[in-house]
Structure 1
C-alpha cells in the first residue's frame, strides 16, 4: 500500500484525486494535507515523513499582479523541497505543470522553474520525480472564472447569464477524471520522468463547446430531457454541466400529468440516449441506496406513496432533503459524486421508477456505498 499526500487536496484537481484514491483503500492510504502546513515547518515535515508519494498541486492560477503568482508558486516549491531535504525523504514527487510553460507569462514561468527545482532535488537526493505537463482541465466542481472556461460557461448558463467568447480558438482538453487516472498510473509505475506531457483527450473550438452547453441548458436544465451523448467527451461535458445549477432550488421537478376519466398519464423521461429503466416497491420505513456514482446519470421518479430523497456531496456535510409525493409525481436526478438514498416515509407502499444511462454491470458497477 502506498501512502499518498496531495498538496492542494481541497482544490479542483486535488479533491477529485483525493476522492478517487479513497475508492481504492486496499491500494492507497491518503495522508491528509492542510494549506497552513506551508507556514508550519514542523507540521509540514511530519506530513512529508509519512508520505511515499507527494502530488504537488498547490499553486496560484490567477491574481491581478502576475509577480504575485510567480513568487507564490516558486515559494511553495522551495518550501516543500526544504522539508524533503530536512526529512531526507526519498518520496516520489509528482508536480502538476502546465502547457502554459512555453508561453510568455509569469504563471507558465513559475511552473517551468518549479519543475526544474524538483528535478534538481531528485538528482541530488536520489528521490523520484515526475513532471506532468497538463492540458486544459475541465470537470465537475471547477471554479467559474478561475479553473476553466467550461466552468465559467456552465455557471453562467445555469444562473441567468450570457457567456461571452473572448477567443474562439481550438482548445486541447482533458476531463478531470481522465487526468486523475493518468496521475494514478504514474503513482503506480513510480518512474522518474522530468517532463511527461499528459495527452489531451479531445480538441474543440470554444464555440463548439458553448453550443453543446447551450443545448444542454434548453433540453435538460429547462425541460428535463437527457440529450444525445454520442462521445465520451459529450458524457463528461454533460456531467460537468449538471453540477452547476443550484440543486436544492431545482429539485424536485414535478411532472406534467395528463388526466382524463381513465386516470392519469405521465411522461417520466425523454431520452436522446438509451439506458436501463426499472421500478421498485418499498415498504414503509425502509431506505434504499446510500451510494454514489462517478459517471452514471440517474433519475428517481416517485409515482405512488411518500418519499424522502437525500443527497450529499461526498466530501461535504450538507444533506439536501427532497420530499416527494405520488399525488404530485416528481423526480430528482442524482449528480455524480453525490451519495444518495430514498426512504419510504408514508404509510403505504412506495412506487419508484429508476432510470440510469447504462445497464448494470457487476464487474464495473460504478456504485460506491456511503451513508448519506
Structure 2
C-alpha cells in the first residue's frame, strides 16, 4: 500500500482530498496541519506529497515567502521518495505568472521546486489552480462563493461589486477527481505544470442570483429551479454550509376524520408531490380532473380504487396493495377507500401546482355546478 502525504490537510482543498483518499483509494494517508510537528516525520518515505499548505493572505513579502517557499522546502527535505516515480505536487495559482506579492511567492516556490526536487529524487508536479468553490471553503478567505453563501445564510447583503465581472470557477469535486487520476499516472518525464481545468465561465452577478434563489426556497415546499451543472454545484455548496436546524421544514397539513393531506414538494417544472393519509374505513378523492395528471404510490396499507367515467357506465374496481403505483384517468372520478386496518399512506405526484383560483378538480356531486373543494 502506497503512502501519500497531504499538507494543509485542515484547509479547504485538504479536507476534501483527505476524505476522498480515505474513501476512494488504498493509500496510507499522512495528513499534516498547522499543528503537526514536521520533524517527527523526518526520513519518512512517501509515494506522493500533495503540498496544499501555503499563505494566501499576508501583510509582507517575507510572510508570503515563509508560507509559500520556505515551508515547501522544509517539507521537501523532510520526506524521502519511496521510488523513482514519487511525485511532489505543489499547489500554486493561476496568479503565479501575473505578479503581485502572492503570485510572485508562488512562482518562486515553483522555481525552487523545479530546481531542487529532481536532485532529491522527487518528480515535480505544479498545479496552478483557478478560482475554487465547494463544500468546506472558508468565507472571506478561500472563495467569493463561500462568502456569498455565508452572507445569504446570515441575511446579509451580498458583497457584489461588479455583477458583470466574468469568472472561471472550478468545483472542488472536479479538482479532487483530477488529482486522484494523476496519482495513478506513470509519466516520470520531468516537471509538469497543470493549468487547464474544466472550469465553468459565469459572472459574479449570476452566482449571486442563483445563491439567493436557492436560499429563497429554504423554508418552503418549493424546490429551487436548477437546471445547470453549475447551479447544482452551488446548491451543494450552499447546503453544506447550512446548519441542521435550518435544513428542516414543516409543510402545512390539512387534517380531518378521513385523514390528512400535505403539499410536500413543489416545482414550476415538474409539478407537485403531496402526502395523503386515509384512516381505516374512510374514503378520499371522489373527484375528477380534466387535464391534471396524477400518479399515486401506496407506501403503506391497502386500498380499493374505484374509477367511474363522468359520461356514465359501470365503475371499475381494483385493490391496490402496498408498494404499488397507479395513474388517475382524466375525465374519470377516482375514489380511494382504505380497506386495511392501519392508516393508508400515499405519495401523489401531479404534473401541475394546485392553484385555488384555477383548480382543475371537480367533485362527483357537483358535475353541473362547476369546481368545488375535493
Partner residue in 2 for 1:202: 200
Partner residue in 2 for 1:173: 169
Kept after mapping to 2: 8 A contact 1:159/1:245: no
Q: Per-residue displacement from partner, 1:212-239 (whole Å, max 9, x unpaired)?
A: 11111112x2324322322221111110
Partner residue in 1 for 2:209: 211
Q: Per-residue displacement from partner, 1:257-282 (whole Å, max 9, x unpaired)?
A: 1234533210122246769x999xxx
Q: TM-score, normalised by structure 2?
A: 0.67
Offset of residue 102 of structure 1:
2.2
Q: Per-residue displacement from partner, 1:282-339 (whole Å, max 9, x unpaired)?
A: xxxxxxxxxxxxxxxxxxxxx99xxxxxxxxxxxxxxxxxxxxxxxxxxxxxxxxxxx
Partner residue in 2 for 1:182: 178
Bigger CA radius of gyration: 2
Distance 1:274 1:21 in 2: 37
Equivalent runs, 1:276-315 vs 2, <5 Å: none
The alpha-carbon distance between structure 1 residues 263 and 278, as it changes in their structure 2 partners (threshold 3 A), is closer
Kept after mapping to 1: 8 A contact 2:149/2:211: yes
Offset of residue 61 of structure 1:
1.4
The alpha-carbon distance between structure 1 residues 2 and 89, as it changes in their structure 2 partners (threshold 3 A), is closer
2:184 match: secondary structure = helix
Distance 1:19 1:278 in 2: 37
Determine which of 152, 156, 159 is the counterpart of 1:164. Answer: 159
Kept after mapping to 2: 8 A contact 1:101/1:111: yes
1:228 partnered with 2:225: yes
Equivalent runs, 1:48-63 vs 2, <5 Å: 49-63=44-58
Q: What are the ranges of 5 or more consecutive residues in structure 1 without an aligned counterpart?
A: 280-302, 305-347, 356-372
Query: Number of aligned pairs?
Result: 279
Distance 1:269 1:101 in 2: 47
The alpha-carbon distance between structure 1 residues 66 and 146, as it changes in their structure 2 partners (threshold 3 A), is farther
Q: Per-residue displacement from partner, 1:156-207 (whole Å, max 9, x unpaired)?
A: 0011111111344211111000001111111110434431214142011100
Kept after mapping to 1: 8 A contact 2:18/2:31: no
Moved more, 161-170 or 145-154: 161-170
The alpha-carbon distance between structure 1 residues 261 and 153, as it changes in their structure 2 partners (threshold 3 A), is same
The alpha-carbon distance between structure 1 residues 200 and 171, as it changes in their structure 2 partners (threshold 3 A), is farther
Relative CO higher for 1 or 2, CA cutoff 8 Å, sep ≥ 6?
1
1:71 match: secondary structure = helix
Offset of residue 250 of structure 1:
1.6
Distance 1:129 1:239 in 2: 33
1:211 match: secondary structure = helix
Determine which of 259, 270, 278 is the counterpart of 2:266. Answer: 270
Q: What are the ranges of 5 or more consecutive residues in structure 2 without an aligned counterpart?
A: 276-298, 301-341, 350-374
Kept after mapping to 2: 8 A contact 1:31/1:51: no
The alpha-carbon distance between structure 1 residues 36 and 262, as it changes in their structure 2 partners (threshold 3 A), is closer
1:35 partnered with 2:34: yes
Partner residue in 1 for 2:145: 150
1:114 partnered with 2:141: no
Partner residue in 2 for 1:3: 3
2:72 match: secondary structure = helix
Kept after mapping to 2: 8 A contact 1:3/1:29: yes
2:117 match: secondary structure = helix
Partner residue in 2 for 1:311: none
1:267 match: secondary structure = strand
The alpha-carbon distance between structure 1 residues 75 and 160, as it changes in their structure 2 partners (threshold 3 A), is same
Equivalent runs, 1:354-365 vs 2, <5 Å: none
Offset of residue 352 of structure 1:
11
1:204 match: secondary structure = strand
Over the residues paired in the alignment, what is the CA RMSD in angstroms?
Answer: 3.1
Equivalent runs, 1:95-110 vs 2, <5 Å: 95-110=90-105
